[in-house]
Structure 1
Amino acid sequence: MSRTTVELPAGIRAFLTRPRTATLTTLRPDRTPHVTPVRFTFDPGPALARVTTREGARKARNVAAGGPAARVALCQADGFRWVTLEGRATVTDDPERLAEAVRRYTARYRAAPPAPLDLVVIEIAVDRVLSLNL
């Protein structure tokens, strides 16, 4: 997955560190949207968002079915303030990448994520950021 540098104002970076829930939009194989609430982390350096989930979850299956062209949107909102992160997504069960995702999640939400046996991480190479009132 190629990495893109995304310059973010300090207000958006701060907003994305708050322990909030977001929505992740993926596309089903029939191209209809699937929207689900998720917890996530965002690393502004490589512009990489991470969502941990089960391999069998609809969102993970949608990303896997989309192949290297799979695009997703991740939106965190708080009242009339919001940030949407868009980009290409992949699913991996690589132990090092999973460990990094769990470490970042635990730091952000002050609790470890659920740890099912089929834990995977959806990695989103963010290439577009939209926001309002930040």
Structure 2
Amino acid sequence: MAIDLHDPTPSFRAFWSEYHLCTLTTLRRDGTPHVVPVGVTYDPEQGVARVICSRGSRKAVHVRAAGEAGARVAVCQVAGAKWSTLEGVARVRDSADEVADAERRYTERYGRQPRENPERVVLEITVTRGLGNA
């Protein structure tokens, strides 16, 4: 079921603020999917999802390889029969302010400070489609 990203339901907003592990799907150079577990934060007002990771991680490498146009990605979470997927275009962000903001958002959603990582970057996803039954 498609989600109206301009007017998401309260249950959709709540689902993306609760503690759930997610998956991130990026594409390798050969077009095959690379799916990994991640923590995701979503800001429906900005229409942006964020994933923190190390600059040398495969997910960051895949996104960076797409260039400034960004990489098509999807993040998904499941809890029992409830599920939701956010699709969009990801870009690697590495400024200290962007990383600190993403860490703060992660701490708010997951209730713990992410481990110290001087190689941390942010995959910033401009969300273009929402799906699910949340």
Unpaired stretches in structure 1, ≥5 consecutive residues: none
Unpaired stretches in structure 2, ≥5 consecutive residues: none
Contact 1:29 1:66 in 2 (8 A): no
TM-score, with structure 2 as normaliser: 0.92
- Whether 1:96 and 2:97 are equivalent positions in the alignment is yes
Name the CA distance, whole Å, in 2 between partners of 1:120 and 1:69.
15
Name the CA distance, whole Å, in 2 between partners of 1:84 and 1:115.
28
CA RMSD of aligned residues (A): 1.1
Q: What letter corresponds to residue 83 of structure 1 in structure 2?
A: S
Shift of 1:58: 0.5
SS in 2 for 1:11: helix
- Whether 1:9 and 2:13 are equivalent positions in the alignment is no
Matches within 5 A, 1:26-37: 26-37=26-37
Contact 2:24 2:74 in 1 (8 A): yes
TM-score, with structure 1 as normaliser: 0.92
Shift of 1:110: 1.2
- Whether 1:61 and 2:68 are equivalent positions in the alignment is no
Percent identity, aligned pairs only, is 47
SS in 2 for 1:99: helix
Name the CA distance, whole Å, in 1 between partners of 2:41 and 2:116.
16
Runs of 4+ off more than 6 Å: none
Name the CA distance, whole Å, in 1 between partners of 2:82 and 2:105.
23
